[in-house]
């Protein structure tokens, strides 16, 4: 049993690994002979095994969603605001499972893992992964944990897409589906941003067609060096393709207003008039460079390419004659859909498309559009009304059907 942390977190948690030796047939037609999934759990599974909640992560997420890994850890899991005692996904009542998805770079089998066929890292040769593959692999994890039916499958952004897939792919194994800041499919603009991000990665000479691991060259910037010499020194370092990709992504996660409030046009150094351009730096530049640089030392470039493709190619209604109503008619669960007013990556309109399709398919659905200035990132933030609405729905999930 976890000991609650100071921020009402689940306390210290330890990742676990589940190994699967039965081959997994993938959407692409290829087969993974075996694979491992790293996951964490928070709270306790009840005797009837009916209180399990699956948390699905977004583009750059992982299994560490709540609590801390060590006593010294300063940074909690990525959804610590929403998972814990008394929080929306209340670990006093739910048994929460959070995994790193297949193809990830935080411990689950992915491009950084050894290809048993060659004894070398998979790298760019790792099979393409679709959201349906993730859901199939998550279903096997449920089997492994003895969970026949999830009380809820929950996710934000790309995580919400996994939750929707669960609802139509395993209708008997999910009682509630919670879809936050997501969409039925990406728009052309969404695709365009991901394309530039991938192109930045692929054009980095250190990327070497994705084969950087076998050459001991990782396409990252010199973050450690930058940290040694102080923040200002690294500003003219070239950015890796992965850092550029993250910078582009990051802009789309924040609202125009949030960036204005956070940075405005404040200068970090230099003058807008006298002197040399190279000495001028806005706060927002410094912030983005830092985000890009940090990300590129903590994430695998091949995984980023793989994850953005899974996101691009997700299209819930594609196999249902492009009719999301037909898709949702396969669902048996209840739905909660949440969007945020300033999210321009997956705007409220995109959530309303989901809601409209669910209503037309005669599925029970609750919808909340939360006023929030934080853009897409709002789904990670402790916005009171968001937490209230989310909590209220989760109380219904907890009640007997």
Given candidates 6, 119, 230, 238, which one binds its own copies under the rule CB under 8 A? 238
Measure CA of the first residue to CA of the last residue in the chain; give whole Å: 27
Cβ atoms 289, 129 nearer than 8 A = no
Asked about 343 being catalytic, the answer comes back as yes
Identity of the residue, 82 or 254, whose beta carbon is nearer to its own copies in the bound complex: 254
Given candidates 14, 22, 120, 192, which one binds its own copies under the rule CB under 8 A? 192
**Euclidean distance between CA atoms 224 and 231, whole angstroms:** 11
If one asks whether residue 161 binds its own copies (CB under 8 A), the answer comes out as no
| Catalytic residue, candidates 204, 300, 343, 377 | 343
If one asks whether residue 312 binds its own copies (CB under 8 A), the answer comes out as yes
Residue whose tokens read 């893992």: 113
**x/- binding map, residues 16-35, to its own copies, per CB under 8 A?**
-----------xxx------
Stretch that binds its own copies, among 37-45, 64-72, 149-157, 247-255 (CB under 8 A): 247-255
Q: Which residues does 18 contact at the CB level (< 8 Å), separation at least 6?
A: 36, 37, 39, 141, 144, 145
If one asks whether residue 188 binds its own copies (CB under 8 A), the answer comes out as yes
Q: Is 278 exposed, middle or buried (0-12, 13-18, 19+ CB in 10 A)?
A: exposed
| Catalytic residue, candidates 157, 240, 255, 296 | 157
If one asks whether residue 290 binds its own copies (CB under 8 A), the answer comes out as no
Q: Which residues does 20 contact at the CB level (< 8 Å), separation at least 6?
A: 34, 35, 36, 37, 137, 140, 144
- What SS3 class is residue 235? helix
Cβ atoms 328, 357 nearer than 8 A = yes
Asked about 376 being catalytic, the answer comes back as yes
If one asks whether residue 317 binds its own copies (CB under 8 A), the answer comes out as no
Residue whose tokens read 């030796």: 21
If one asks whether residue 199 binds its own copies (CB under 8 A), the answer comes out as yes
Nearest C-alpha neighbor of 297 from the set 360, 202, 389, 206:
206
Given candidates 92, 233, 256, 371, which one binds its own copies under the rule CB under 8 A? 256
Pairing of strands 152-156, 176-180: parallel
Which parts of this chain interact with its own copies (CB under 8 A)?
Answer: 27-29, 128, 130, 185-189, 191-193, 195-196, 199-200, 202-205, 236, 238-241, 243-244, 247-248, 251, 254, 256, 259-260, 262-265, 272-277, 280, 282, 284-285, 288-289, 292, 306, 309, 312-313, 315, 318, 344
What residues act catalytically? 157, 343, 376
């Amino acid at each position: 049993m976890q000991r609650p942390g100071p921020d009402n977190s689940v306390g210290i948690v330890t990742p676990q690994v589940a190994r699967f030796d039965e081959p997994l047939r993938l959407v692409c037609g290829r087969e993974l002979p075996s694979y491992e999934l790293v996951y964490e759990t928070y709270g306790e599974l009840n005797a009837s095994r009916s209180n399990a909640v699956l948390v699905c992560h977004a583009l750059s997420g992982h299994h560490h969603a709540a609590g801390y890994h060590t006593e010294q850890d300063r940074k909690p899991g990525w959804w610590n605001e929403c998972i814990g005692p008394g929080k929306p996904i209340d670990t006093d009542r739910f048994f929460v499972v959070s995994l790193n998805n297949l193809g990830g770079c935080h411990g689950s089998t992915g491009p950084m893992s050894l290809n048993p066929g060659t004894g070398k890292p998979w790298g760019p040769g790792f099979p393409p992964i679709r959201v349906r593959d993730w859901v199939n692999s998550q279903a096997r994890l449920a089997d492994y944990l003895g969970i026949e039916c999830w009380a809820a499958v929950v996710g934000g952004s790309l995580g919400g897409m996994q939750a929707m897939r669960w609802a139509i792919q395993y209708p008997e194994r999910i009682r509630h589906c919670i879809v936050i800041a997501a969409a039925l499919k990406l728009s052309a603009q969404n695709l365009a941003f991901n394309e530039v991000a991938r192109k930045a990665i692929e054009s980095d000479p250190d990327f070497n067609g994705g084969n950087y691991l076998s050459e001991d060259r990782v396409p990252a910037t010199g973050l450690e060096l930058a940290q040694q010499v102080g923040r200002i020194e690294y500003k003219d370092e070239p950015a890796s393709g992965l850092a550029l990709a993250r910078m582009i992504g990051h802009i789309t996660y924040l609202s125009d207003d949030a960036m204005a409030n956070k940075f405005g046009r404040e200068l970090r150094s230099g003058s807008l008039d006298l002197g040399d351009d190279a000495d001028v730096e806005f706060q927002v530049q410094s912030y983005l460079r830092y985000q890009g640089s940090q990300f590129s030392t903590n994430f695998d470039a091949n995984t980023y390419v793989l994850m953005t493709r899974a996101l691009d190619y997700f299209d819930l209604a594609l196999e249902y004659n492009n009719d999301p109503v037909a898709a949702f008619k396969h669902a048996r669960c209840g739905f909660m859909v949440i969007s945020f007013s300033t999210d321009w990556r997956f705007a409220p309109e995109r959530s309303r498309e989901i809601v409209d399709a669910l209503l037309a398919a005669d599925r029970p659905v609750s919808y909340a559009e939360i006023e929030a200035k934080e853009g897409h990132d709002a789904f990670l933030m402790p916005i009171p009304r968001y937490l209230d609405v989310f909590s209220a729905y989760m109380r219904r999930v907890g009640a007997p059907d």
